[in-house]
Amino acid sequence: MSNLKDLKKIIAKKNPLWISFVILFSGILITLLFSNYVRLEDESRTQREFEQVCNEIKSKIITHIGIQTEFLISGSSLFEASNEVTREEWSSFNKFSTTNVKFLGVQALGFCTIIKKSEVQKHLASIQKGFPNYKIFPAQDRAIYTSIIYVEPFNQTNAVAFGYDMFLEPVRRKAMQNARDYDRPTISDKVTLLVENKNKPQAGIVIYVPVYKAIPLNTIESRRKAITGWIFCTFRMDDLMKSIWKTSYMIDKKNIFLKIYDNGIISQKSLLFDSQNNNLKEDQQTKTRSIPVFFNDKKWTLVFSLPAESGFSFSTKVLIIFIGGLIISLLLSALFYSLLITKKRARIIATHLSSDLLHKNKEYEKINKMLKKNYKKLNSSKEKLDSINKELEKAKVKAEESDQLKSAFLANMSHEIRTPMNGIMGFTELLKEANISLEEHKNYIEIIEKSGTRLLNIINDIVDVSKIEAGLMQVSLSAVNIDHQIQYIESFFRPEAQDKNIQIIIQKNAIPYPTIINTDSEKLYAILINLVKNAIKYTVQGTIELGYEIKSDYIKFFVKDTGIGISVDRQIAIFERFIQADFNDKMARQGAGLGLAIAKAYVELLGGKIWVESQPDKGSTFYFTIANGTKVVNNYVAENNVPLYKKFCEVKNLKILVAEDDSISRMLILKVLEEYGSQILIAQTGLEAVEICRKNPDLDLILMDIQMPIMNGYEATREIKKFNTKAIILAQTAFALEGDEAKTLEAGCHGYISKPIKKEELSNLLQFFFCK
């Protein structure tokens, strides 16, 4: 449950997107700050470099001009020191300069001499000796002439200036006068050199150094008198600056522009040099720096300009840093976001897993419990199985035993049936012989009768067991004098006991009057007979005691003998049907093993129990109890049973029908009926019986066999009852089953008699129905 709550909480928790945004914004902020710092750093470095470049250019210009001026001063000294400097001398003096024109940026180095008007012709003549075309120009009349007589390098370009009177040109003159008057190197204002291309002239300057005669030069006047000429050099400003530019290693790297203005005047007119030739766009923002440069009284203004990067433009480096920072910030925030999402998912998965685990755990616990239960069940099942196994083992032993018993039983039954049958058959055979005495004849007949009784007893026992098993054995209650019964049994068995030299003793009860109880007389009789019969059978010598005790609500009987006894392990089994205590014992084979089973069933029907106390070779005592005043189970038979006492009358001259399919039974019955009938008719099937009945409506008695071919006794009775209600129908039943008796009465019979028909029983019945 708690896990489910946790899971809901985790899922409900919003994605921590804001943290990623914070990271992104922080990253961007840091990137911006850093980029700005780098930009400022760049700018300040650029500024420093810019200033450095400006200073470097400035000093280079000063150095260049200075070197040149020094050279001019040397040239002036050369002229002042010697009377005459020849063209060759001047040329070799200028050798360094002329061979390094490009390096120094010098256009020309020359000497310009002063010529008085009077000496012009003489001068022209002397020069024209070497250079016939030489002339002083411009051709204009004046008091003083000046002329460039030496110019180096004396090439075709510079030769243009040969003979040129610079003094006539005002800008140059001003510089020349300044140099003359103050005895100092003087740089002219901006001029256009003669050598210049007329279409696209460069700005030029000339530096003048005066050459004086060797006289004192203290005053301007004295200098004006002493002046003989000027050493000069001309510069084309672009060339000059190019030579300087070339030697500056930084200028190329930086996008720095330079303009040089003459005399501190910033104007196109005074522009001496423009590194961009005015290509710089007007609207372009520039960073400028003006530096004044002084050469004596000459002032140049150097205007350096550095195009400023536009307001928000960044250097590549800053841009890289900015973009890089931005990308890193984005990646970081994305990474963090994905980490958080992953963490959340991991937590969800973990929570799922832990809830799964919890669930599984519970299931395992359940399974465990079930297993434990099952284990217990298994254990108990195992125990049960063990006990079943033991039972089976017992059953197996029993089965083996009962197999033996079965064989023993069959042998027994065979013996039990064959023995009397042998007697009957053997002595019947002997009876056929003619020469037997009357006594022998009587003796044989007795033996045959005994054997028949014995056979009938066995059959009765089997029938009784069948009845008991089928639940058809019923109790027929009546008042029974048990003293009489015991007495009768003693007298019944006395001859048999005496034959074996055994004494039967009745243990008399102390009560002075006879004991009469409400019970089933036949069954009590059968129980006692069985027990006493066994006692005689299993006793070799000694006594048999017989008696009973009256208890509060039951009576306890006992039959005690001094016989062979029964081992303890067989004392319960002997009450089972077909079981004998020792089936190998020869004596035991004298019975079918049914007597005690029947006795037990009867005892139980009478509401009691039976048991034995015995020791082998010492004797046995059989006890059984019966309830005193046992409830009547079914009194139908009792009510309808034929009473044995009747008023005596002679039954004669009856018209009788005997329905019997078996010829021997028929013969017997005919013999028994002889004395009662005047006319006896015979039917062999039920159908025949019905037919005979139709033809003889005056029949008095019908003895109806139940089991007949074509139509059985029940059906035949029903049919006869339809047209003859007068004739008495008695059913003959072979097995005398309780159900059969009821059925016969139900079918319409007036009574029944069991086979084999006994004369006495039949007589009783006939007296009952015909002695009215």
Judged by the rule CB under 6 A, the positions of this chain that interact with ligand ADP are: 530, 534-535, 538, 561, 563-566, 574, 580-582, 588, 591-597, 620
305 contacts 286 by C-beta, under 8 angstroms: yes
CB of 546 to ligand ADP, least distance (A): 12
CB of 555 to ligand ADP, least distance (A): 21
CB of 566 to ligand ADP, least distance (A): 5
C-beta closer to ligand ADP: residue 91 or 457: 457
CB of 626 to ligand ADP, least distance (A): 19
CB of 651 to ligand ADP, least distance (A): 40
CB of 512 to ligand ADP, least distance (A): 31
Helix (H, G, I), strand (E, B) or coil at 6: helix
C-beta closer to ligand ADP: residue 79 or 624: 624
Beta bridge mates, 656: 680, 701
Q: Count how many Cα atoms sit within 13 Å of the Cα of residue 396 in the half-sphere of its side chain.
A: 6
Which residues, including other chains, have CB under 8 Å from residue 478's CB and lie 6 or more apart? 518, 519, 520, 521, 638
CB of 737 to ligand ADP, least distance (A): 22
C-beta closer to ligand ADP: residue 189 or 461: 461
C-beta closer to ligand ADP: residue 473 or 597: 597
CB-count exposure of residue 693 (10 Å: 0-12, 13-18, 19+): buried
C-beta closer to ligand ADP: residue 238 or 545: 545
52 contacts 60 by C-beta, under 8 angstroms: no
394 contacts 429 by C-beta, under 8 angstroms: no
State the residue for tokens 């037990």. 600
CB of 601 to ligand ADP, least distance (A): 11
Instruction: Return the DSSP state at 159.
Output: G
Output the six-digit token pair for 628.
Answer: 């005193």
CB-count exposure of residue 439 (10 Å: 0-12, 13-18, 19+): exposed
C-beta closer to ligand ADP: residue 127 or 610: 610
C-beta closer to ligand ADP: residue 477 or 535: 535
Beta bridge mates, 151: 110
CB-count exposure of residue 741 (10 Å: 0-12, 13-18, 19+): buried
C-beta closer to ligand ADP: residue 42 or 582: 582
C-beta closer to ligand ADP: residue 150 or 622: 622
C-beta closer to ligand ADP: residue 586 or 726: 586
C-beta closer to ligand ADP: residue 68 or 580: 580
- Which DSSP string do the residues of 560-610 spell out, in sequence order? EE-SS---GGGTTGGGSTT--S-TT-TGGGGS-S-HHHHHHHHHHHTT--E
CB of 535 to ligand ADP, least distance (A): 5
138 preceded by cis ω (within 30°)?
Answer: yes
CB of 540 to ligand ADP, least distance (A): 11
What are the C-alpha distances in Å from 466 to residues 470, 577, 735?
6, 11, 10
C-beta closer to ligand ADP: residue 408 or 716: 408
Give which of 38, 606, 673 is closest to 325, Cα–Cα. 38
Order of strands across the sheet that contains 554-561:
502-507, 542-550, 554-561, 619-627, 610-615
Beta strands 728-733 and 751-754, pairing class: parallel
CB of 619 to ligand ADP, least distance (A): 7
C-beta closer to ligand ADP: residue 536 or 627: 536
CB of 747 to ligand ADP, least distance (A): 36
Which residues, including other chains, have CB under 8 Å from residue 361's CB and lie 6 or more apart? none
CA distance 58 to 134: 40
What is the SS3 string spanning 261-313? EECCCCCCCCEEEECCCCCCCCCCCEEEEEEEEEECCEEEEEEEEEECCCCCC
**Residue 211 parent element (H or E):** strand 204-212
Beta strands 502-507 and 542-550, pairing class: parallel
CB of 408 to ligand ADP, least distance (A): 10
